[in-house]
Amino acid sequence: MMRKTLSIWTKEKSLTAFLVLLFLQIFIIAPLMANDRFFLYILNGIVCSLFLLAGLLTLAQSRLTRLIASIFIVAVMAARWLVLTIPSQRLLIIDSIFTLCYVACFIVVVLHNVYKEGPVTKHRVRGAVAAYLLIGYFFAAAYQLLNYLVPGSLTIHSALVQQTPDLSGIFMYFSLVTLTTVGFGDVTAVHPVARSLVMLEGVIGTLYPAILIARLVSLHIEHEKG
């Protein structure tokens, strides 16, 4: 069973599977959460956690690191359940911090598999797209955490709140809009830290595609020469 779990990320098809899973999470499950469809949210969280655990265990070289990775996943899921059952400001902050770490680990795992030596396949390209969406997910969690710590850090248009009362969905929308440097002005960063995060995400959103293409091209050339 453990070998099968670890073998998930050794196959490049896992990058395509994860992109599909991430697409479902951001564009389908997240909107449904606004209607209290928590079952889908938890189910998706469990599947994502298994994906991440497999990735961390694949990269880990020692038993201690693998043990820490396993404990981390359990803590993430426990915090998620507690937030849904007994929500409180402190638990929301803890859950947001765990989410930041969770997504950051996912970014490392996905990029490690995208940029490792070997031919550039369609699965790697899809993995690069998944990493791009994960960056947006990371900043959405950062905006949400900042809003918990300093309420009013971002001002949200009243019409947007009425249509989407779930702030996590609004922050995800704002993050992807910022990452793609579109900017509609219905969410505005007011706090200095929020403005710094917005500027950083905008820079990453601009540079990532260029760096990605350059790296994939170099990998392709190296493989052709080899």
According to the model, what pLDDT value does residue 177 have? 93
Residues 15, 126 contacting (CB under 8 angstroms): yes
The burial class, CB within 10 Å (0-12 / 13-18 / 19+), for 128 is buried
Give the phi and the psi of residue 192 in degrees, each rounded to 5.
-55, -40
Give the phi and the psi of residue 107 in degrees, each rounded to 5.
-60, -45
Q: Which of 218, 208, 5 has the alpha carbon at shortest distance from 107?
A: 208
According to the model, what pLDDT value does residue 21 have? 83
According to the model, what pLDDT value does residue 41 have? 66
According to the model, what pLDDT value does residue 133 have? 93
Residues 164, 56 contacting (CB under 8 angstroms): no
According to the model, what pLDDT value does residue 226 have? 60
What are the CA-CA distances from residue 208 to residues 1, 21, 136 (Å)? 37, 22, 12
According to the model, what pLDDT value does residue 154 have? 94
Q: Which residues contact 195 (CB under 8 A, 6 or more apart)?
A: 189
According to the model, what pLDDT value does residue 195 have? 95
Low-confidence ranges of the chain (pLDDT < 70): 1-7, 32-41, 44, 61, 163-166, 220, 223-226
How many residues can be counted in the chain?
A: 226
Q: What's the pTM?
A: 0.88
